[in-house]
Structure 1
Amino acid sequence: MGNDARSAGTDTIDFPAVQRSEEFQTLRSRHRRFVFPVLGACLVWYLAYVLLAGYAHDFMSTPVFGSINVAILLGLAQVVTTFAVTTWYVSFANRRLDPIAADIRGEIEAGDFRADDAATERGNS
């Protein structure tokens, strides 16, 4: 039951060869160049909020208007940041990652990375 969803024929795909391909390396590099800096910035932003909330009580309790203070505005900014980064990533992925992923998938489905061919080539060399 656990393997019922598995596509037929995936046993014949040489996944290490896919991972070594230039297209896959480009895909992986683009993904990492986007994700790691954005993740770092978001973690710093979140940690700054937590530290301000924990240690800068006077600053965080500064009223902005009515009963709304700096802490509430920064907390809402955390939520807005999450949605903004998600939207940014989806846009980036649609433009820069998905076309490469589609090409790789097309090559796999065309049989360019069949394991039996790779084993035959390794045996002949």
Structure 2
Amino acid sequence: MSEDSPTGGSGAPPDHTNEGDRPIPDSAYIAMHSDPRFVELKRRLFAFIVPMSIAFMAWYVLYVLMSAFGRDIMGTVLFGNINVALVFGLLQFVSTFGIAILYTRYARKKLDGNAVELRDELQNGNGGGDR
């Protein structure tokens, strides 16, 4: 392999680098992965993502099933040329943006502070240590 190869010529994958271009060894990532603060951060992330994903998929599947099997209901005209199907479709967009807004607020309040702290520790070379 040449020295210009992504593996640095040694055949081993390169270490990760931080903003200061200092390599972050894989062992630091492994240590950080078992840090209780990182585990709590992942738990908080999944506590939002899993229920919200299930709720959105259920809402989307309802829309698809109603479009396929509830044509009479979906075809009900509400006013003018606006029917239930169009309103359901538009509400898909509204719910998508609503979830994005909720996630942004949740992340600011419950995730970002801890994530920044852990990232800084990792980049400064003392990541994953027990406190």
Quick check: TM above 0.5?
yes
Aligned length: 113
The code of the aligned residue for 2:46 comes to: R
For residue 35 of structure 2, what is the aligned residue in structure 1?
21
Map of 1:1-125 to 2, 5 A cutoff? 6-7=17-18, 8-12=21-25, 14-113=28-127
Q: Which has the higher helix share?
A: 1
- The offset of 1:11, in angstroms, is 3.7
TM-score by length of 1: 0.82
Percent of pairs identical after alignment? 31
List gaps (5 residues or longer) in structure 1.
115-125
Q: After superposition, give the CA deviation of every residue in 1:23-66 in whole Å (9 maximum; x if it has no partner).
A: 10010000001000000000000000000000111000001011
SS at match of 2:109: helix
Task: Give the distance between the partners of 1:33 and 1:92, measured in 2 at CA.
Answer: 11
For the Cα contact (< 8 Å) 2:41–2:115, is it kept in 1?
A: yes
The code of the aligned residue for 1:21 comes to: D
Could you list the structure 1 runs, at least 4 aligned residues long, displaced by more than 3 angstroms after superposition: none
Change (3 A) 1:2 1:80: farther
TM-score by length of 2: 0.79
List gaps (5 residues or longer) in structure 2.
7-15
Q: After superposition, give the CA deviation of every residue in 1:86-105 in whole Å (9 maximum; x if it has no partner).
A: 01001111111000101101
